A and B are shown apart, each in its own frame.
Chain A
Amino acid sequence: MIHFDLPSDVALLLRDTAERFVAENYALPQRAEMLAAAPEEAPRLWSAMAELGWLAAPLQEAVGGLGLTPVHIVPLLEALGAGLVLEPVVPAMRCAATLARALPENEAATALEPVLSGERIEVLAEGAEGAPITATRDGDRVMLLGTAPLVPGGAAAAAFWAVAELGGAPILIRVAAEAASVAAFRLLDGQAAARVCFDGASCAVSEAVPDCAGAALDFGTDMGLVGALAECSGLIDALYRATLDYVKLREQFGRPIGRFQAVQHRMADMFIAREEARSMLHLAAEALESEDAGFRARLVSAARVKIADNARRALRDAVQLHGGMGVTDELAVGHMVKRLLVLTQLGGSRGAHLKRFRDTA
């Protein structure tokens, strides 16, 4: 059941705050300075973001959140994506949303308190497709074996929640960064990530968090996907606007190139791509509120397919219409293109989402 209400005042306020924050802190030279730091260094604006309540926003009040629905926070995440922020907001949100469902309320509140306050970063760590992290019992301990090859936001994380399989069932095990072997690196777009090897890490059996039938993980995954899609939608919008400005200014043959029909039609298609992406984002965000996991999965995957397709189209056209300037490192366009690539390469292939869409019909 989808309502399609307009963004609420709260949503718009969050978005405006984020846009101001980005304008003040994320001009390209400022960003370049942040990128010069080692990836394992704590991201500079993390605690400021936590203070603004962004990490707590989508969680229920009982676990220390602000109780906002996904529809309320997607405009904020769109602004952060368009702003090319380097702090791992979405990975942290995904982790928190998973824990809030997997742990009993009081335990979740305790576990999340230092995370939501910005004191430390904790993210989920999963094995590669077909190579899950495995857990085995050894007396009253659970021993881990396996590697998470690419953990977004993992470079400066204080702890990981390893997503492991114990006898075929999913469990979550918290592993402090010191107890794992962490190799930090930057992704194509400058975001810090890590390869995390859990071989030899362990915890007491009582500390392993079972996730009955994977319900919490499934929800967290969908939450993370919608977060990434919000960033994509924000980036598509930013590329559209930057390109529109550019074709109005750039003159060739004695007039702005936006006067040429070939350019106009391409811009019209970019506008369409942006509108469709926004609509699908809204749809997926509303679907996240549904407790029908099949319906949720179906609409989130539909949105993922459409938005990733439109992201490709938008980045292609944005670069093309910027001409030579579009392939430089000097404009925001190139940075946005790389961010879109990172976002759409992660989180499952087009084919996998198309399949999930069909399988949940």
Chain B
Amino acid sequence: MTDLLTGPEDMAFREEIRAFVAANLHPETRAKVARGAPLAREDFARWQRSLFERGWVAPAWPVEHGGPGWTARQRLIADEEMFRLHTPPLPGFGLKMIGPILMRFGSEAQQKRFLSGILSGDDWWCQGFSEPGAGSDLASLRTRAVRVAGGWRISGSKTWTTYAQYANWIFCLVRTDPEVKRQEGISMMLVDMTSEGVSRRPIRLMDGTEEVNEIFLDDVFVPDDLVVAEINKGWTYAKALLENERFGIGGIGRSKHLLQRVREMAVAAGRGADPEIVAALAGYEIDIMAIEATTLRLLSAAEAGVRIGAETSLLKIRGTEIQQGLTELMMDIAGPAALPERESACVEEPFENAAYQFLNWRKLSIYGGSNEIQRGILAGQVLGL
């Protein structure tokens, strides 16, 4: 794998990351990530604690809120190295979503109350956007908040809520004005998951995991101080959220990590020199390089003051296509060895997670705005169609 960022300063920074990971990553977690096995809460929490103590847990946050003060280039390098060394990718609901939203739009009291818990991992956040009837067409959401003394009462349901089983807070989009244009009647509220009226139903996925949930909100009270900024401006905040970390959405580190694993599998399967596999792997490596080069190019433009907006949708589209393609290649390499159930006695290492990852990663082109929605965004906002 060719690293593009290899100047002397880059290399020194890589060394710093490597030394830290070597000293702090728990071997069990490392082994799981290296094999594509499912991760438990403890894997994330333990790693988050280490990063937090080192001051590295929120690479993109400004220093005054607890960020490490890294440049965009350093963030890319850190991401690449962390993946390479099999660290678990921390869920972004607090660190990449509501944290930055609160920094930009939240009240001082909200920042004071929530940011430190997001950094330390003492608070776990989940995201209440999608609903059974509002997926790609998010603005059609129907969960309602009704004004009462001192706050609001929310009723409705949210779905695809990742890691809600670990979360003690959920940030929700709710309809506060049903009379106006759809996007203009939506607000963002922070809901304590232990509030009366909040319940959860796990959704079992086809790979057997229970990553996502349905959340029911039954007349849940939310005090005024947990409304994010202005009422009826939630859509604006949600859009800003989608722009956060926009240069990270290509998932370069994740793709490189997967490519490395698929390559190891090819060797384990005795197909390390199979011309078809070898050509496919080289092709994906070049595809990843193109995404990395594009990220760096957009980054230089942004640093020079060019406004980069919806262009980054291309990083999401291509990044997820590459990752899904790699899981397909993984299946081709594994053949029947991918078929025994993960926990069964007859698993064949290192293929025991191949089929599960293939199944699990179908989500990549669906979540965060499906790839069809992303193409629509490009066509509308960049191409002017």
Contacts and interface: CB of A to CB of B under 8 A. Distances in A.
Contact of B294 (A268, A279, A357): A279
A15 B140 CA distance: 47
B119 to A, nearest CB: 31
B2 to A, nearest CB: 6
B90 interface: no
Contact of B379 (A265, A276, A283, A354): A265
B163 to A, nearest CB: 31
Contacts, number: 105
Given A248-B385, A258-B385, A264-B379, A354 B290 contact: no
B311 A275 contact: yes
A305 interface: yes
B286 interface: yes
Interface stretch (B201-209, B210-218, B336-344, B370-378): B370-378
Interface residues of A, number: 37
Interface residues of B, number: 39
A261 interface: yes
A2 interface: yes
Contacts of A305: 283, 286
B267 interface: no
Nearest to A256: B385
Nearest to B10: A1
Nearest to B291: A276
Interface stretch (B92-100, B189-197, B297-305): B297-305
Contacts of A36: none
Contacts of B31: none
21 contacts: A1-B4, A2-B5, A2-B293, A2-B296, A244-B383, A259-B385, A261-B376, A264-B383, A267-B385, A268-B376, A272-B317, A272-B378, A276-B294, A279-B293, A279-B296, A282-B297, A283-B289, A298-B2, A299-B289, A354-B279, A358-B278
Interface of A: 1-2, 4-6, 244, 247-248, 258-259, 261, 263-265, 267-269, 271-272, 275-276, 278-280, 282-283, 295, 298-299, 302, 305-306, 351, 354, 357-358, 361
Which 4 residue pairs across A and B have the least CB separation, nearest first?
Answer: A264-B379, A279-B293, A268-B375, A268-B378
Interface of B: 2, 4-7, 10, 278-279, 282-283, 285-287, 289-291, 293-294, 296-297, 299-301, 304, 311, 314, 317-318, 372, 374-376, 378-380, 382-385
